[in-house]
Amino acid sequence: MSEKLVIGNASHSYEVAQGWGKLPEGIAYGYTHGIVVDENDNVYVHNTGKDSVIKFDKDGNFITAWGPEFEGGAHGFYLHRDNDGIEYLYFADTNRGLVVKTTLDGETLLEIGRPDRPDLYDAERRYVPTDVCVAPNGDIYVSDGYGQFHIHHYDAKGNYIRSWGGRGSEPGKVIEPHGISINLRGEEPEIYVADRRNSRIQVFTLEGEHKRFVDHNLDLPCSFYFFGDEVYIPDLDSRITVLDRNDRLITHLGEDQQAYKQQGWPNLPKSYYRPDKFSSPHGVCVDSQGNVYVAEWIFDGRITKLVRQQ
């Protein structure tokens, strides 16, 4: 019997569940970009392959796959329980410039295209949404992380409300706002933006007013997953960062400070990868038991489950 692989620290210890999530014959990952978990602890992996949404149970047994329309453009991925009490999936498609809301089975309910802002977008200035999130009132926020670096705000039906941002490093400006989420840990909801190329988080009100920066213990933050009082952040430069309710460091998981410095990264030789180390984390989620799932930006995909020990 192989020895347990355990990572983390005294308060956050995890066993690596080696071999979790076997794909059936005929199904393969593209780049694994997003990962979410539903109320039953089923896990959904979003990737750029033709089966762009792959669903597993908590033990890693394959359930189903769908989503050829997202092939090549799969990127932002968000699960949200709307005010009707039902869980839905939200997607940001970089190829088609679309935000899409579906049921958990893939039925399309809403599509939001490029905002009607000719002052921001034209034939040369592209719109490339990279992530999406939903506020408690149902409003939808979209980060244009690979285009003109703006945040766009819509109501629950997809009607445009406002935009803010633009390239820069001063308060309210961003460089590659790659991920976006809603922080519900304080007295009022806030928008967290992974201001990736500034290597920081920028925090806004729901109306888009700058509140503060979180600019410590981060190295190219990609997105967020809030779990209780904590936030889990995939740092593209080879680790998962866990912060407490005050955004202070709890631990880095699976850190490998050599991976992203290798020639050819993120697509390194298979011999390089180790089960207890990350190379290019892009998505993360946490199930009801505190187990952590990580999706990495690698051409043929990589998913890791970490089983919470304490």
Q: Domains in the chain and their CATH numbers?
A: 6-308 (2.120.10.30)
Please, is 108 exposed, middle or buried when counting C-beta atoms within 10 Å of its C-beta (0-12, 13-18, 19+)?
A: exposed
The residue among 228, 219, 229 whose CA lies nearest residue 194 is: 219
Cis? peptide before 266, omega within 30° of 0: yes
Q: Is 186 left (phi over 0), alpha (psi -120 to 50) or beta?
A: beta
Could you tell me the two tokens for 125? 């200035």
Q: What is the pLDDT of residue 179?
A: 98
* Mean pLDDT split into 10-residue runs, the chain, 310 residues: 85 96 97 98 98 98 98 98 97 98 98 97 96 98 98 98 98 98 96 97 98 96 97 97 97 97 96 97 98 98 95
Could you tell me the two tokens for 255? 């850190």
Specify whether the CB–CB gap between 55 and 65 falls below 8 A.
yes
The β-bridge relationship of strands 160-165 and 108-112 is: unpaired
Q: What is the pLDDT of residue 310?
A: 74
Q: Three-state SS for 4? A: coil
Cβ neighbours around 252 below 10 Å, total: 20
Q: What is the pLDDT of residue 61?
A: 98
Rounded to the nearest angstrom, the gap between the alpha carbon of residue 193 and the centroid of all alpha carbons in its chain is: 11
Q: Three-state SS for 196? A: helix
Which secondary-structure segment (H or E) carries 14?
strand 13-16
Q: What is the pLDDT of residue 2?
A: 62
The residues, any chain, with a CB within 8 Å of residue 182's CB and separated by 6 or more, are: 133, 134, 135, 136, 141, 189, 190, 191, 192, 226
Q: What is the pLDDT of residue 3?
A: 79
Q: What is the pLDDT of residue 270?
A: 95
Distance spanning both ends of the chain, measured CA to CA: 23
